[in-house]
Amino acid sequence: MGLFRKKGVKATEDSGEVMVSTRELTGRPAVVFYCLCIVASVFHILTNTVWLMPEIHRNALHFAFFVPLAFMIYPFSAKSLDKKPYVDWFLAVLSIICGLYLVFFEDALHARNEQMIELDIFFAGLTLLLMLEIARRAAGKIIPLLAVFFLSYALYWGQFLSGNWNFPGVTISRVLYRMYFAPDGIFGSIATISASYVFLFVLFGSFLVKSGAGDFIIKLAISVVGRSVGGPAKMAVFSSGLMGSVSGSAVANTVSTGSITIPMMKRTGFSPKFAAAVEAAASTGGQIMPPIMGAGAFVMAQWTQISYLKIVAISFIPAILYFVSVIFFVHSRARSEGLQPTAEEDIPRFFDVLKEGWPFFIPIGVLITLMSIGYTPTFAACCAIAAIVGASWMTKNHRMGLMDIVDALALGGKNMVATAIILLCSGVVIGIVLLVSLGVKFSMLISTVAGSSLLVTIGLVGVASLILGMGLPVTASYIILATLSAPFLVNLIKLRYVMAVNPQFVESMGLSLDMISDPTAAGALFAIINTQVPTEHATIFLLAAHLLIFWYSQSANVTPPVCLAAYTAAGIAKSDPFQTGIHAFKLASGLFIIPIMFVYEPAILFLGPLWQTVLTIGIILLALFCTAVSLEGVYIRKLHPLLRIAFGGTAILLYILPELQCWIGVGIFATLTALLKYTSAFDMDEQLEESALTEAA
């Protein structure tokens, strides 16, 4: 049952991606925790397949499983790690009672026409307090502080604000009803996503890990790219992409693959900070890599009503572009430092690795096939979990026995604890945001600052994502930012489309872009604009906005001053954390650039003819390559600063993507390539030799 961490260690939860203290469980508490994790996993499998019950009851039991588990492993503070956790056990029991109370007494509330009695108010208030406290322990202070901020706005100080931000206030009983019994509170839609899609895919990842798929992925990556220049770093990118398709967590990827790839990169000749930055940047892509993409993708599917399969299918190419952009940086750095490929004796033969581990592709195939033919993601995930067990018996060294299956069930429950707490507490924030219409108010704030400028709006979303990401886990950051900014961003994308197709439309309807700053007028403007957007385009624009926010929510993993994936990698590499973060930010530049293409060139999301999508992808790849060349300063040979600037300008021309600028950029790239290959102009090596001779003389 080796599922527990050492006492007093500052740990980073794989799902939550926040630095928190965890308690070592030994003896009877460890057995109880282990058994509860198994029961939780079995319960969620059954309630998502054959055991049907009202969603709010299942969500309340979801709370009754994971909040007690969280109280068992997350102490009040780091100082209380060594103290007997009697209070925490008491709070765990209270949490169970709070979840069960809703299950047994909800019908009585409906029989009273939703009139809450004192006991209802007591348990609703207690549940809210327990939720805020365990969120503080498991996910840091920011989420509960946000919840308290919004709650206090709705209950009290909103009435003292003027203008658009004024809110007259609601009673405490009304708020508690919305938080406890209504479908948009703690046990609402976000809890539904947590108790179904998210949990089953976390469990799916746990089964893959226990089956030995992680070892197979590492070996496969070494066999594919080990012989190329900078092979270990490229292997880190490759393996992190594959692992990310399973775990959907940047920090989990960094820990699992980085412990192998970072030492290999250092032995090859990469500096510790660059090796750590490569792993952090590559692991950040785990959250955007299909088929799992982290918990946020399931929230996205629920909110947009776009099928999860479609989101996964459309996200695949952009995710590949991101990983390729990281490889461009790695290759340039390896060339600049004259690094050699991995030693031949350290590289396993590709076909030997494939022969040993090919059965691990079967569960992924089952998952994708079932979703493709119309089955729900939950059913597909359950079948894929069963397929993992069957596939393991087709390998020689990783056959899962009964105890392996039980351990996988326990690991799935344990890995879900932090994610469940984050999502349940996010329900508090979302419930209040909906209650007081903060999404509309925030959209109006953006419109006041950005006006009708789509690029400025994207910039504001990016800044907001960085600020939120400093204290929030990725999933919570996406949920809050999407709630507040997605509707306005979608409307601006539609407006841009209509203005491109029919530039005179707004004026012909007697409208003006200045109307955007007025809430009432903006509503009328966007309502008319929506009638001019075809349904297929509207769906892609909605998805483009949410994907942009989803990608930007990952940026905090690699953006100083708070970048957990980079700091985690720096700990493995024994490098300076801040310097590692700076390098990771540069290597992950595609994370900031590619989402803009979702909005400005939706052909990348397969909107339009296939030839246009292929051409767009090719141009973006070339632009990403020019970006890496400009920042790293190596292409064919070391580049003169003027040539680095020229490649940077070429990248900008390519990113713009209208036909004329695009082909001008291609022409400049071809010219610069010929100049470097066939002439000695701007040769940095020759200039360095002349400088050395001059100094010697």
Predicted confidence at residue 17, as pLDDT, reads: 54
**Residues above pLDDT 90, as percent of the chain:** 32
Predicted confidence at residue 692, as pLDDT, reads: 40
Give the residue-averaged pLDDT of 52-57. Answer: 91
How many angstroms separate the CA atoms of 390 and 382, rounded? 13
Q: Decide if 608 is inside a domain.
A: yes
Predicted confidence at residue 433, as pLDDT, reads: 83
Query: Is 70 exceeded by the pLDDT of residue 684?
Result: no
Write down the mean pLDDT value for the chain: 84
pLDDT band at 10 (very low <50, low <70, confident <90, very high): very low
What's the pLDDT tens digit per position in 333-386?
Answer: 888 877 767 666 667 888 888 888 888 889 888 988 888 787 888 888 899 999
Residues 633 and 598 in one domain: no
Residue identified by tokens 């990983």 is: 323
Predicted confidence at residue 681, as pLDDT, reads: 61
Helix (H), strand (E) at residue 335: helix 308-336
Question: What DSSP state is assigned to residue 190?
Answer: H
The reported pTM is 0.80
pLDDT band at 444 (very low <50, low <70, confident <90, very high): confident
Query: Is 90 exceeded by the pLDDT of residue 625?
Result: yes
Predicted confidence at residue 245, as pLDDT, reads: 61
Residues 102 and 180 in one domain: yes
Q: Decide if 580 is inside a domain.
A: yes
Q: Decide if 633 is inside a domain.
A: yes
Query: Is 90 exceeded by the pLDDT of residue 651?
Result: yes
Residues 642 and 510 in one domain: no
Return the higher-pLDDT residue of 296 and 39.
39
| Domain boundary residue, one of 614, 630, 651 | 614
Predicted confidence at residue 568, as pLDDT, reads: 79
Q: Decide if 64 is inside a domain.
A: yes
Residues 528 and 664 in one domain: no
How many angstroms separate the CA atoms of 538 and 494, rounded? 7
Return the higher-pLDDT residue of 312 and 469.
312
Return the higher-pLDDT residue of 289 and 243.
289
The domain total for the chain is: 3
How many angstroms separate the CA atoms of 565 and 283, rounded? 7
What's the pLDDT tens digit per position in 171-212?
Answer: 999 999 999 998 888 998 889 988 988 898 889 888 988 888
How many angstroms separate the CA atoms of 375 and 370, rounded? 5
Helix (H), strand (E) at residue 635: strand 634-635
Residues 46 and 92 in one domain: yes
Query: Is 80 exceeded by the pLDDT of residue 519?
Result: no
Residues 158 and 67 in one domain: yes
Q: Decide if 290 is inside a domain.
A: no
Predicted confidence at residue 246, as pLDDT, reads: 62
Query: Is 50 exceeded by the pLDDT of residue 5?
Result: no
To 5 degrees, how large is the angle CA 141–CA 142–CA 146?
120
Its domain, for residue 147, covers: 10-190
C-alpha dist (Å) from residue 679 to 547, 552, 625, 687: 44, 41, 21, 14
Query: Is 60 exceeded by the pLDDT of residue 458?
Result: yes
Predicted confidence at residue 581, as pLDDT, reads: 87
C-alpha dist (Å) from residue 21 to 13, 75, 420, 511, 616: 9, 7, 17, 56, 46
CA 434 to chain centre: 23
**Are residues 461 and 544 in contact, defined by beta-carbon separation less than 8 angstroms?**
no
Poorest-confidence range of 275-289, 382-396, 444-458, 671-685? 671-685
Query: Is 90 exceeded by the pLDDT of residue 466?
Result: no
Q: Decide if 568 is inside a domain.
A: yes
**Residues above pLDDT 70, as percent of the chain:** 91
Residues 591 and 624 in one domain: no
Q: Decide if 695 is inside a domain.
A: yes
How many angstroms separate the CA atoms of 681 and 23, rounded? 63
| Domain boundary residue, one of 614, 645, 676 | 614
| Domain boundary residue, one of 595, 614, 633 | 614
Determine the 3-state secondary structure of 578 from DSSP.
Answer: helix
What's the pLDDT tens digit per position in 255-271?
Answer: 767 777 788 788 778 88
12 bridge partner residues: 19
How many angstroms separate the CA atoms of 139 and 533, rounded? 41
Residues 682 and 573 in one domain: no
Poorest-confidence range of 129-143, 433-447, 483-497? 433-447
Residue identified by tokens 């803009």 is: 596
Query: Is 70 exceeded by the pLDDT of residue 687?
Result: no
Residues 466 and 595 in one domain: yes
Predicted confidence at residue 697, as pLDDT, reads: 41
Determine the 3-state secondary structure of 636 from DSSP.
Answer: coil
Residues 570 and 546 in one domain: yes
677 by Cβ neighbours in 10 Å (0-12 / 13-18 / 19+) ranks as: exposed
Residues 561 and 653 in one domain: no
Question: What DSSP state is assigned to residue 198?
Answer: I
659 by Cβ neighbours in 10 Å (0-12 / 13-18 / 19+) ranks as: exposed
How many angstroms separate the CA atoms of 453 and 313, rounded? 30
Helices (H), 393-473: 402-436, 438-450, 454-469
Cβ neighbours around 255 below 10 Å, total: 20
**Are residues 492 and 452 in contact, defined by beta-carbon separation less than 8 angstroms?**
yes
Predicted confidence at residue 15, as pLDDT, reads: 40
What's the pLDDT tens digit per position in 534-544?
Answer: 988 999 999 99
What's the pLDDT tens digit per position in 582-606?
Answer: 899 999 999 999 999 999 988 899 8
Predicted confidence at residue 247, as pLDDT, reads: 60
140 by Cβ neighbours in 10 Å (0-12 / 13-18 / 19+) ranks as: buried
Predicted confidence at residue 342, as pLDDT, reads: 67
Predicted confidence at residue 349, as pLDDT, reads: 83
Residues 545 and 633 in one domain: no
How many angstroms separate the CA atoms of 548 and 301, rounded? 14
To 5 degrees, how large is the angle CA 415–CA 417–CA 421?
140
Quick one: angle between helices 535-553 and 308-336, nearest 10? 50
CA 382 to chain centre: 23
pLDDT band at 507 (very low <50, low <70, confident <90, very high): confident
Q: Decide if 235 is inside a domain.
A: no
How many angstroms separate the CA atoms of 138 and 70, rounded? 7
Give the residue-averaged pLDDT of 214-224. Answer: 79
Give the residue-averaged pLDDT of 606-615. Answer: 88
How many angstroms separate the CA atoms of 400 and 440, rounded? 51
The torsion angles phi and psi of 597, rounded to 5 degrees, stand at: -65, -30
